[in-house]
Structures are given as C-alpha cells and as structure tokens.
Amino acid sequence: MKIIMLGAPGAGKGTQAKMISEKYDLPHVSTGDIFRANIKNGTELGKKAKAFMDAGQLVPDELTVDLLLDRISKEDCKNGYILDGFPRTIPQAECLEKALNARGEAIDFAIDVEVPDENIVKRMGGRRACVSCGATYHVVNVPPKKEGICDKCGSDLILRDDDKPETVQKRLEVYHAQTKPLIDFYGAKGVLKEFDGTQEMSKVFADIVQVLGA
Ligand code: AP5
Ligand code: MG
C-alpha cells in the first residue's frame, strides 16, 4: 500500500503517519524528518535545507525529489510506504508519478487531514519533537512520560525552530499557495480521502482505518 499524507503544517500528518506505519507495518518516510536529521548531523544538505526551513519556505525541488525517490527505492519500501510531507508541490507530485509509472506502480491513497488555520497556530507552540526518532508530542494533548525525554528512544525533545508563531504563519501561506493544489491533483486521480483533523487523534485514526481497511 502506497500512501501520501496531505494537510497543512501541524494538521497531524506525522502523528497519523506514525500510527498507520505501526498498524500496517509500512515505513514512515518524512522528508521533514530526513532534513532535520541532516541538519542535526551537519551535512551539506542539512546546511542548505536549514535556511529554507527556518524561513518557513519550501526546500527547492531539486534538493528534495531525488532524495525521496532514492529513499523509496530502498528494500524496506518494496511493499509500500507512507509519504509524510512529500509531495508538497505539483512538480514534486509529477516527478513521483513519473517514477512510479515507470515501475508500473501508483499511489493508492492520498489522505488529507483537514484542520483550519486558526487551530494550527495553537497546536504548534505546544509541539515537542524527538531529535532522534522524530516522534511527536504535545505538552498538553500528548505529554511524554518524562518531561523533555522521548518515550520511545530516550532522546531529547525539542521545540522545532520553525514552530515560532511568525514562521508558522509563513508556512501556512506557503501551504495554501503551493501544496493545497495537490488536493485537486489527487482528487482527479480518484485516490483522495479527506478526514476531519480537528477531532481527537484516536478518532482521526479510526476514520482512516475505516478507509484503509482493518
Ligand atoms: P515537515 O516536517 O513536513 O513539517 P509540516 O508539513 O510543516 O508539518 P508538521 O510536521 O509541522 O506537522 P504535522 O502535520 O506532521 O503535524 P504533527 O503530527 O506533528 O516539514 C518541515 C519543513 O521542511 C517545511 O516547512 C519545508 O521547509 C521542508 N520540507 C519538508 N518536506 C519538503 C518537501 N517535500 N519539499 C520542500 N520542502 C520540504 O502534529 C502537530 C501537533 O499537533 C503535535 O504536537 C501533535 O501532538 C498535535 N496533534 C496532532 N493531531 C492532533 C489532534 N487530532 N488533536 C490535537 N492535537 C493534535
Ligand atoms: Mg510532521
């Protein structure tokens, strides 16, 4: 099963992708997590990506597309995957489609988690993310067992640099201009499924499972 997660920054793509990944035993491929790992490790890619990310802008397609196509060609992706944060532009979606077509493959589901902008800014300030495994928490909604420490791997939890309110606002603008058109793109392909992301996480997940199949 090949799944794409769509939705605004902070809609809960990562939260739901992790749960889908565990239930269906599919790798969770997040371009944001890959960039953050590169930033943490001080790679050239990380240095280039950081400037765009901190400004709330998209990392250019030429730094993103090959990276993603390479990742999904790995052995663990042979039975499918969940793409979280990719594609984010129409050109990215077209490159993905071309690469999949060449292998006789296609995306099965594009899961759109819908949350209005006004809810997003509130969520982001409370988010904490694991520097190592990418697990996501919320200081009120999903607190870790021990403050500042990841339940899953014991690494430190951080407030992401791009979660400052003014950067979140910029990311929302970029989302509406560049990423939202993907909803129509995948709608036209007949694979779009829309979900109300303002509900409790477990309810959003239950709705998704209804569509993907138990
Ligand atoms: P990325 O890491 O993908 O960030 P994003 O799309 O902005 O999305 P987020 O990770 O912020 O939100 P999410 O939807 O995953 O929400 P989460 O589950 O954490 O990308 C970061 C940057 O990298 C981009 O800005 C760009 O610069 C660059 N980039 C990445 N991919 C790229 C690409 N393909 N092309 C170009 N550039 C790229 O949830 C948010 C919070 O809400 C959490 O605290 C969570 O606990 C809480 N929460 C979740 N669900 C609920 C719920 N139902 N109710 C209440 N709280 C909830
Ligand atoms: Mg995320």
Contacts of 105 (CB under 8 A, 6+ apart): 2
State if residue 142 touches ligand 1 by the CB under 6 angstroms criterion: yes
Which tokens in the block code for residue 82?
């969940």
Closest atom of ligand 1 relative to the 127 alpha carbon: 44
Q: What is the pTM of this model?
A: 0.93
Omega into 165 within 30° of 0, i.e. cis? no
How confident is the chain (214 residues) per 10-residue block, as mean pLDDT? 97 96 97 93 96 96 95 96 98 97 96 95 89 89 95 93 89 97 98 98 98 92
Q: What is the pLDDT of residue 133?
A: 86
Q: What is the pLDDT of residue 132?
A: 87
State if residue 64 touches ligand 1 by the CB under 6 angstroms criterion: yes
How far apart (Å, rounded) are the C-alpha atoms in residues 196 and 7?
11
Helix, strand, coil in percent for the chain, rounding step 5 = 50, 15, 35
Closest atom of ligand 1 relative to the 171 alpha carbon: 25
Give tens-digit pLDDT for 105-148.
999 999 999 999 989 988 898 999 998 888 899 998 899 999 99
Which tokens in the block code for residue 93?
């979606």
State if residue 32 touches ligand 1 by the CB under 6 angstroms criterion: yes
How far apart (Å, rounded) are the C-alpha atoms in residues 79 and 68?
16
Q: What is the pLDDT of residue 134?
A: 84
147: left (phi over 0), alpha (psi -120 to 50) or beta: beta
- Identify the residue whose C-alpha is closest to ligand 1 atom 8: 9
Q: What is the pLDDT of residue 165?
A: 86
CA atoms within 13 A on the CB side of 152: 12
The bound ligand whose nearest atom lies closest to the alpha carbon of 88 is 1
CA atoms within 13 A on the CB side of 13: 25
Give me the chain's average pLDDT, please: 95
84: left (phi over 0), alpha (psi -120 to 50) or beta: beta
Residue type, 173: E
